[in-house]
Amino acid sequence: MENFASRYQSVLVPTIFVPWAKELIRRVDMKGGERVLDLGCGTGVVSRQIAEAGLVPSALTGVDHNPDMLGVARALFSDDGIKAQWIEADAAALPFDDDAFDVAFCQQALQFFPDRPAALKELRRVMKPGGRVVFCVQKGLDLNPMLRAQASALDAYVGEGAGAAVRAICSLPDEEVLRHLFEGAGFRAIDVDEVTLELHHPDARAFAAGAMGGMHTGDKLSGLADSKIDLAIDAFLTGLGKLFDGTAMRFPHVSNVVVAEA
Can you list the domains of the chain with their CATH numbers? 4-261 (3.40.50.150)
pTM confidence score = 0.94
For the cut 60, the answer to whether the pLDDT of residue 1 exceeds it is no
**Which pLDDT score is estimated for 143?**
98
pLDDT digit string, tens, across residues 154-181: 999 888 788 898 999 999 999 999 999 9
Task: Of 83-92, 155-164, 166-175, 220-229, give the lowest mean pLDDT range.
Answer: 220-229
Sorting pLDDT into bands at 50, 70 and 90, what band is 215? low
**Which pLDDT score is estimated for 8?**
83
For the cut 60, the answer to whether the pLDDT of residue 45 exceeds it is yes
Distance CA 39, CA 135 (A): 9
For the cut 90, the answer to whether the pLDDT of residue 5 exceeds it is no
For the cut 80, the answer to whether the pLDDT of residue 242 exceeds it is yes
Contact criterion met (CB below 8 Å) for 124 and 186: yes
**Which pLDDT score is estimated for 214?**
62
Strand (E) positions, the chain? 35-39, 59-64, 84-88, 101-107, 127-138, 188-201, 249-261
